[in-house]
Each structure stands twice: as C-alpha cells, then as structure tokens.
Structure 1
Amino acid sequence: MREFSSWLAKMRPSINGYAYYVDFPKVYANIDAVRIELNMMNSLIGSSDIEADFKRLIERYPEVLTCIPLLLAVRQHEIYAQDEDGAFLYDFDKPKCSADQDITFMKKTGLLDLISRHLVSNLVDYALGVETGLDSNGRKNRGGHQMEDLVEGFLRKTGAEYYKEMYLNDIERKWNVDLSAISAEGTTTKRWDFVVKTPTVIYVMETNFYTGGGSKLNETARSYKLIAEEARQIAGVEFVWITDGGGWKNARRNLEETFRAMTHLYNIDDMEHGVFERLFAV
C-alpha cells in the first residue's frame, strides 16, 4: 500500500535536460544561412562614412539585407516601423524600399551607429549571441515535450506495443472497443498522450509535469479522477496518469484525493523503479 506523503516527497523540481537551455545546432544553422551576408556587413564596421558605404553595399549586393532582421533579434522578414515622418513596412526578404529608405531604417533603429562606432568587432559573433537569446524563447516548447519524451523512454524499454498521441475514436476503430463512457456518449473526442496495448488490456495514458502551482493543477487532478472512474466501466480498458513536478506540493489536497481513487497514478520515481515493466512488459 503506497503512502501519499512519501510518494509526493519524491516529486522532482525540474526535468530539464542538457539540451533544454539552447538548441545550438539550430542556432548554428540559422547563422550559416546568413553568414555570407553578415560577413559582407562586416566591411562596414568602423566606417567613417557609413551611410554612403551601406548604400553602395546594398546597391551592389541587395541580398545583404536579408540579415538585417536578425541583427534586431526579429524572426520575421517583414518589419513595420513608424514615427512622425510616416509609417513603413520593410520587407527584407523581397526588398521594395529605396536605398535611402533602407538607410533611414538602419539609422533610426540604431544599427548604423552600432556598426560605424565599432561597438561590435564581428557581426557573425554578434548574430550568434542574438540567435542564442532568441532560441531561449523555444524553451517553453522544449519543456512541454520533455515529460512525454521521458515517459516514452521508459515505455520503449518494456518492449510493449504502444502508440503516441492517439485519438479516442482511433482506439475504438482499431480494437473494436466502446469508449463512450469516457467520451460523453460520443459527443467529445480526446487525444491520449500514449496508448499501450497488451494481450488483455488497453492502457490509455496522460503525462504532464508542473514546476509551478495554480488552479490548473486542481482542475487536472479532478478531471483525471473522473476519467479513471469512467474507465472502470469499460472492460479491458484502464487509465494511467504519469505526473510529477514541485508544483504539486502546493496543490496536494486534490492530488491526494485522486491518488486514493486511482489505481494507476505514478511519478518519475515509480517509472525508475519498474512500474511499467510490472504493468505491461511483454
């Protein structure tokens, strides 16, 4: 018989892997895509007549403009800007503005000043830093997949037949099972993070990780408790919930109710101690 407090105490504050912080291969690829253009822009560093030199450069090599958004830490090629002189939409992928208007953009954004005053010595290195900073915005997406990737690693080790991101109606068609008890009589559909098929049982699984607290955790605990109760009405189908994270320590009341009501509620420590092997190893 498991004891809730000791189980909760094993929740992890984080599951961030080494690759979570910066996706350097992606950063390098993005830099390589404009490396030539950045090196052409390097010819302007320290220029005493930056406007004339920039104008000559883009008139001879207009493709150099494609690297401008990156220098401003902007992903899109179209940049809107306005002031008392008017509003302009600059398209650095398919330049339409005059060279003089491009110079205006470079002046008013501060890029010409940055380059002419030699405040940076190499725009490739500068862009590498910008790309690294921009990539930090991708941490939320990477973090959202970390728990699923972790669970899948443990599933793979069992050798069991499993499916990722499978819809409820696909399960019904594939194995000729009626899941109306957990689909509100067919009025709603749901995508499960994983589905594991053993000779006798279909396990439908949800996974998540919460670093922080909030009302969402209580709603999730109540919702999954209800799913577990509904799944008990279906012969040969069981609901498995894998969750973890320090956020649960501030939302323990609802989780404890669900813990006592569910047969298959596990955390990372449970997976590390072979719970999947006991459930559905082949």
Structure 2
Amino acid sequence: MKFSPIFKDLINCSSSEEVFSYLKDSLTDSIRPWTYFVNWQKVLINFRKIEVRLNILNTLIGKNNTEQEFKKLLTAYPEILSVIPILLASRTSNFRILTDSLHGNFQYKNYNFPEKIKSLSPQEIDEAVEFVKETRVLDLFSNRTIKSIPDYVLGIEVGLDTNGRKNRGGTSMETITEEIVSHICSQNNFLYIKQVNAAKIFRDWGIVVQVDKSSRIFDFAINNQGTLYLIEVNFYGGGGSKLKSTAGEYRYLFDFISAQKHQLIWITDGSGWKTALKPLEETFNYIDYTLNLNMVNSGLLAEIIKHKI
C-alpha cells in the first residue's frame, strides 16, 4: 500500500503493517439498516395490485362445496385466475406439470394464469379448478386453515421479499459509502457519479477510461480537478473460497487502472474477511489503498482524495 503520514494522524499507525492490523481488527460484522429485513414499500405495492381479486377469492373461505363455488367465481370474475400462482408463493404465470412418469413415459400438462383475461371457457375453468385442487390450495379454503386470503398472501409477499436480503446487504454498503462520498465532495467542490461506466465518465467529464470489459461499472467515480478516483465497494458477512479470487481481481484491476494514471480505491468490509486474511493482506500490500468503513469514517478517504496522495 502507499503509506502516508495521514495514517499516523488519523488512525495512529506508523507503518503499512500497523495499518493492515488496524484494518483487520476494525472489520465490522453488520451493516444492516432497519430496511434490511423487509422492503415494505415493494411488498405493499405488490399486494395492493391484487387486493381486490384476493377479497373476491376470500368469499370461498368456509364454503361447503368449494369446487362449485370456485367455478362460479371464475365465471363471474375471470380476473381472479391471475392470483392463483401467488397462493403457492410463485411469481410464475405458466406451469408445465409432470402428471405421469410411469415406465419412463413422461406426460405433462400446461397451466396458464394470464394477468388480463375477459372471460374463461368451461375447459379453462375446469383446468384452474384442477390446479388448485391438485396443489391442495382448495383444501385450505374449505377447511378454514386459511381464515383470510388477503392476509395469507400478504405473508407470502413478505416471505418472497426476504430473498432480496442479500442484494440489500450489498446496497447497504453502497448507501453508507455514498453518504460519506457525497459529504466529501460537497465540502470540497469535487464531482462524483455513482454506478458509472467509462462512457458516462467521458461524456460528463471528458476523461478517458479504458476498461477491461464492456460491462465494467464502477461503484463511484470522483473527479478532483481532473484527477480521477474510481472506488469499488463490497461487504462480505460470510467467508468462502470466493474471497481469495475477489482479492486477486482487485490486484488485476489496480494494475489496469493505475497504468492509465487513474486512482483505484477499494473499500471492503465484513467479518467474512477474517477467514481470508492472507489474500486480503496480499492485495492490501499490492494496491495503493484498501480501506474498511471504520477507516473511511476516520477521514482517510477524504484526505487521500483532497491531497491526491
């Protein structure tokens, strides 16, 4: 790494070795904000799109002959067909079901649940009833296991949204870093762009950046009077073999960017790095600046960019 007196001033480290010890000892194990758990805005938007149809379907609860009642509803309100997949926690509207596999003779049947439909034929109604019957959804209606279909689906939407937590973890790292980057730039009249490719950097600032692949997008770019800082951020809460290759990728990217006289800063954090300290240290020693969030918050990022060190 490129050692500077600012490390002594800001984090009381007198050598590169001490800086790395500071980095590894100050890794944080969580950057989860309140919004990490459930994206309620997304959940409620999805729910409200189908709330009326769910309430229509809710009239089936506790009925004695749910098959016949369901057929009546499909005839009168064909639009309720589209909400059947979400009852099974599925975003898919087309299904190909294996109905017979005896003696290797695979037989399939297709079921479709389009979003918009004006009417259903008797055959389409029978197929819809068959689908909810065979998937046992109809049983939940008749025996009152489900007491409110809208509430049940709202719970499903919450469950499906938890699949996005991994992405929200990455977004949290970007959000935290952007707050700091935005403050630095506003205080010093620097320009910055987030999630930026080489074409936009040239279009906005006239600075040429050659990239190793056309899909390359940098998390942040900061322009200090023509000196370009490209910043990559990530967070690893868990370990794994991927971390070794990740560290290697940043050594390669550093060579590629620094050869063009631009600056690369890697901001990474997470207790996952405690399982891969050797490759992290190798990259730390190779590229100019590897920082974690505690180091960024100490003022190091601001000083590096302000003084072009």
Shift of 1:196: 0.5
Equivalent positions of 1:192-271 (< 5 A) are: 192-199=218-225, 201-235=227-261, 237-271=262-296
Give me the TM-score of the superposition, normalised by structure 2.
0.81
Letter matched to residue 59 of structure 1: T
- In 2: Cα distance, 1:35 partner to 1:199 partner: 53
Shift of 1:176: 5.3
Q: Alignment identity in percent? A: 34
* Structure 1 range deviating more: 166-175 or 254-263: 166-175
Equivalent positions of 1:61-140 (< 5 A) are: 61-84=77-100, 87-93=109-115, 94=117, 97-140=123-166
Q: Is the 8 A contact 1:168 1:189 kept in 2?
A: no
Q: Is the 8 A contact 1:194 1:205 kept in 2?
A: yes
Deviations 1:44-84 (A, max 9, x none): 11111111111111111111222211111111222332313
- In 2: Cα distance, 1:211 partner to 1:103 partner: 45
Change (3 A) 1:40 1:188: closer
Equivalent position to 1:8, from 1, 17, 24: 24
Letter matched to residue 18 of structure 1: W
Shift of 1:127: 0.7
- In 2: Cα distance, 1:43 partner to 1:258 partner: 62
* Structure 1 range deviating more: 88-97 or 157-166: 88-97
Deviations 1:234-261 (A, max 9, x none): 44x2111101111111111121122223
Q: Is the 8 A contact 1:242 1:267 kept in 2?
A: yes
Q: Is the 8 A contact 1:45 1:118 kept in 2?
A: yes
- In 1: Cα distance, 2:215 partner to 2:82 partner: 44
Letter matched to residue 134 of structure 1: L
- Give the secondary-structure state (helix, strand or coil) at the position aligned to 1:163: strand
Q: Is the 8 A contact 2:85 2:113 kept in 1?
A: no
- In 1: Cα distance, 2:305 partner to 2:285 partner: 22
Change (3 A) 1:233 1:112: closer
Letter matched to residue 50 of structure 2: V
Letter matched to residue 208 of structure 1: N
- In 1: Cα distance, 2:112 partner to 2:140 partner: 20
Equivalent position to 1:60, from 46, 52, 76: 76
Q: Is the 8 A contact 1:15 1:146 kept in 2?
A: yes
- In 1: Cα distance, 2:41 partner to 2:180 partner: 26
Change (3 A) 1:223 1:164: same
| Unpaired runs of at least 5, structure 1 | none
- Give the secondary-structure state (helix, strand or coil) at the position aligned to 2:222: strand
Change (3 A) 1:100 1:195: same
Change (3 A) 1:190 1:88: closer
- Give the secondary-structure state (helix, strand or coil) at the position aligned to 2:31: coil
Please report the RMSD computed on the Cα atoms of aligned residues, expressed in angstroms: 2.4
- Give the secondary-structure state (helix, strand or coil) at the position aligned to 2:218: strand
Shift of 1:174: 5.5
Change (3 A) 1:52 1:244: same
Deviations 1:219-274 (A, max 9, x none): 22223224334544444x21111011111111111211222233321110012112
Change (3 A) 1:174 1:38: closer
- In 2: Cα distance, 1:32 partner to 1:250 partner: 44
- In 2: Cα distance, 1:154 partner to 1:165 partner: 15
- In 1: Cα distance, 2:76 partner to 2:253 partner: 65
